[in-house]
Structure 1
């Protein structure tokens, strides 16, 4: 069964966020703020994450980190650039990068609370990748506009969590867990009430690997809403009021396929043993998800994309067969700076990389299977966009929204099980 065609539906009530500067077409992803002819609003000061009182920490859903039984083998040494010692709870250097990685093959259990608010009786989340620039003020108008719209969408449509699809800090990631980019590009931008209470589940992209990914993992000890327990990990989502469940598997596609620049995806990994260990973990988790109503996999590189970067030959070779054989509902990614939906082999492919740049190029339109591209949006004048996913026992609804609040496209995916 394929995705249902977009049915008639009432317009979403996400309020418009107002006009945003219209940038010129980007130049191969380097749409630096100085080229916009404008500047982002000055960020509002926030208390540092370490000073957030427990009463204000996010608690709309209980989240617990658990080692998947039986006791897993020691994780491989991952080839992160810029290894630095992780900070301990008291701010001192509390261990080596290798020890930090022994946080190990984490399975995170998430149970959504039902209630009368938006999305009661379902699990909803927002998904977006690719934002932030290394020039003051370290944000772009698109990121500010998209953050505001995501806050309104979370309040209007409901959202229990947020998936970051990589390239969290252009262009060379962060230096360490104390890097001010965490504040300038994340904490002080995603401040809408609808977002402050959400846990953010993070994965790494190629620009993150150009810096210190271990530091991004360590930052979870400082921020109550930044969850990045391991380079790849699993979330189990319980649909409230039912016995149904879903699973979200977050991958590190740079460890799988190599490439630390914009156009390097699809080559060989720097550490073949680490890549093989991640694939082995993924096969085991997919096999264990046989009873889940929906299974979603997320990574940074696309399996299929008609955009400027295009599909990853490495993921088509190693990941695509697993997605098809295990009847995965959808694969979510960023990397290409636009919004896309493709359908191939019973799997939905969602590209959501419009948090910072917008590229209208369909350079690789001929590289995707004929008829697979169902939706593409990358207007250079757009203020950005993102994806909202709603999981219910009988359907998964994927909605593409522009930062203006305009609904761009909606698709309904069937459950894996009757």
Structure 2
């Protein structure tokens, strides 16, 4: 019996290695009980990660539906890691590393076995209403929560010869209106934006010839067709960073803040913005110049790097399953 079981496992491994089964089929054959997302395209030998944002609502709104399907997508794509674009805990962040929100809004919600891999987390404005340092310190408590500082970077090998640079910003100090409400956004006015900007530029000026993809993550959008389309905060943030990202050829700026799903690339811009802020609450959205896709549906985005292209799939999470609403290919 043991020999038969061993032979079966070896056969499955060989089949997977030869591309005869996709990651979901392989996991099902080894005992996985979750569901497939048939519309989600798996590209063999690709390097994938998932993005969600604005999620921490104690399982309310659409949070549990999105969490369930996020787990399924992680299996289907064999995703390497997960990115959160901020507003991790509503309405007022966390008080400490032992705040019960860690259990009620994170640990007990994202409990699919596939989601126990690295999460790279940004800070949102609601996180600044609580103890930001507690979210940083939780990196020493949780194996999967990664926030070593308010802003940081990480380099990933997407294949043997090429790398992807992921830069996680703290966008909150750049929002001027927050400085007028320092009692609400704790410590935001004390942050040194000149220092962070210089750090960001140095990261983007990398001389590593293997870095093929540059991705910046932040909470606030450069552009929006949603609630904050005409917001002065949005317009000022675009002025501060759109040209800088283009100059240093940032392939993708990934953000949230708006509770919807949008892809925007204005005319003449190099950087494409991917907004994924619909992991719990959802609001109406719309279009603006450069809008490629926009929807007010609960869900997340999946990114798959393969060669000179990046496939971005926008996933809707429903009560009984998931649907891919849009597929976008970003080419170098």
TMscore range, shorter length: 0.7 to 0.9
Equivalent position to 2:71, from 140, 147, 151: 151
Gap runs ≥5 in structure 1 = 1-11, 18-117
1:235 offset after TM fit, Å?
A: 1.1
1:122 offset after TM fit, Å?
A: 2.7
Equivalent position to 1:208, from 109, 112, 127: 127
The 5-angstrom pairing of residues 322-401 of structure 1 reads: 322-344=244-266, 345-362=269-286, 365=287, 368=288, 370=289, 372-378=290-296, 382=297, 384-401=298-315
| Alignment deviations for residues 172-194 of structure 1 (CA, whole Å, 9 cap, x no partner) | 00011110100110001101122
1:16 offset after TM fit, Å?
A: 6.3
Measure the CA separation in 1 of the matches of 2:207 and 2:61: 40
Task: State the secondary structure of the residue aligned to 1:183.
Answer: helix
Contact 1:258 1:270 in 2 (8 A): no
Task: Give TM-score, length-normalised by structure 2.
Answer: 0.80
1:314 offset after TM fit, Å?
A: 2.8
1:409 to 2:326 alignment: yes
- Equivalent residues, number: 282
Measure the CA separation in 1 of the matches of 2:305 and 2:238: 26
1:414 offset after TM fit, Å?
A: 1.3
1:259 offset after TM fit, Å?
A: 4.6
Specify the alignment match of 2:100 in structure 1.
180
Contact 1:386 1:401 in 2 (8 A): yes
Task: Give TM-score, length-normalised by structure 1.
Answer: 0.64
Measure the CA separation in 2 of the matches of 1:317 and 1:290: 28
If asked which structure has higher relative contact order (CA below 8 Å, sep 6+), I would say: 1
Larger helix share, 1 or 2: 2
| Alignment deviations for residues 250-304 of structure 1 (CA, whole Å, 9 cap, x no partner) | 000002324559x99xxxx724x61110000000000016632111101000001
Contact 1:207 1:260 in 2 (8 A): no
Contact 2:43 2:306 in 1 (8 A): no
Task: State the secondary structure of the residue aligned to 1:309.
Answer: coil
1:141 offset after TM fit, Å?
A: 4.5
4+ residue runs over 3 A deviation: 12-17, 258-261
Specify the alignment match of 1:221 in structure 2.
140
Measure the CA separation in 1 of the matches of 2:307 and 2:156: 12
Task: State the secondary structure of the residue aligned to 1:220.
Answer: helix
Measure the CA separation in 2 of the matches of 1:348 and 1:165: 16
Q: How big is the alpha-carbon RMSD for the aligned residues of Structure 1 and Structure 2?
A: 2.4
Measure the CA separation in 2 of the matches of 1:412 and 1:333: 18
Gap runs ≥5 in structure 2 = 1-23, 26-34, 183-187
